[in-house]
Amino acid sequence: MATAVITGASSGIGKAVSLRLLEFGYDVIGISRNIDKNAIDHPNFSMLCCDLSDEIELNAIIPLLQTDPSISILCNIAGFGVFKPYEEIDTNTISKMVALNLNAPMILSNVLLKVLKFNQGIIFNITSIEALRSSKFSAIYTATKTGLRAFSQSLFEEVRKSGVNVVSINPDMTDTSFFDELRFNPSAEFDKRLEAEDIADVIQNILEMRNGACITDITIRPQKFAIVKKS
């Protein structure tokens, strides 16, 4: 049975994608800093608790992943953002954002690439609409997501001959816990926000495409646009 490794699997997009791939018959290894054992109750789901922004913790789980010859999907979904004037962001937050949003996906792609080549697998990197534009108060987040998208595109050119696909998915504002600590939320109106399941739909559609045809970069947006500022 094929195995998918999914970061950020405890909630939001990561949880939605985990549940979708479990429905499709994949074994799923979820990686998250905090995983509620009741979050995903499925016999084919296993958990690795790891703060991917911590280099020591990340290095500790690498040997566990490298012993699994059935891994055919890597979904790099975990990430966070801080949106405020750049001089107000402390240096520790900058380092953690770069480590989680950019370094961790590149490292996991590196250590799993041999097995992904053997299984002609696929890497999904969840970037952001911010990877396609320049927004104020988003310098670090935009830099990490733009870097991840560029990494995805360059890596695809390198590994496409081996049968591996690398996809960057660039979602607009999605209704998840990502916004819990921020000063704004997506709109509650269905046509002004994305749902985590929308990203799972895209991943499912890509996996169902015929062999030989690849989507390498896709942007998902709600039909309309709105931001709700918190009081």
For the residues 56-73, what does the mean pLDDT come to?
97
pLDDT in the model for residue 223: 97
Residue 149 scores a pLDDT above 90: yes
pLDDT at 16: 97
Range in 108-122, 174-188, 192-206 with the lowest mean pLDDT: 174-188
| Rounded percentage of the chain residues whose pLDDT exceeds 70 | 98
- pLDDT, position 180: 82
- Segment 165-176, tens digit of pLDDT: 999 999 999 988
What pLDDT was estimated at residue 163? 97
230/200: higher pLDDT: 200
Higher pLDDT, 58 or 226: 58
What is the DSSP annotation of 67-120?
A: T-TTEEEEEE-------S-GGGS-HHHHHHHHIIIIIHHHHHHHHHHHHHHHTT
Rounded distance between C-alpha atoms, residue 116 and residue 162, angstroms? 9
Backbone angle region of 9, left / alpha / beta, with phi > 0 → left and psi within -120 to 50 → alpha: alpha
Among the listed residues 61, 203, 24, the one whose alpha carbon sits nearest the alpha carbon of residue 122: 203
Q: Which two tokens stand for residue 211?
A: 């062999």
Tally of domains in the chain: 1
Provide the pLDDT for residue 37.
58
- Write the pLDDT tens digit of every residue in 18-47: 999 999 999 999 999 987 656 799 999 999
Amino acid identity of residue 68, one-letter, is D
CA-CA distance, 185 to 228, in Å (whole number)?
5
- Per-residue pLDDT, averaged over 12-23, amounts to 97
pLDDT digits (tens, 9 = 90+) for 67-118: 999 999 999 999 999 999 999 999 999 999 999 999 999 999 999 999 999 9
Encoded tokens for 137: 């108060």
Confidence (pLDDT) at 38:
62
Rounded CA separation 55/41 (Å): 29
Q: What is the CATH number of the domain that holds 205?
A: 3.40.50.720
Domain residues for the domain of 79 are 3-229
Q: C-alpha 81: how far from its chain's center?
A: 13
Average pLDDT on 174-192 reads 86
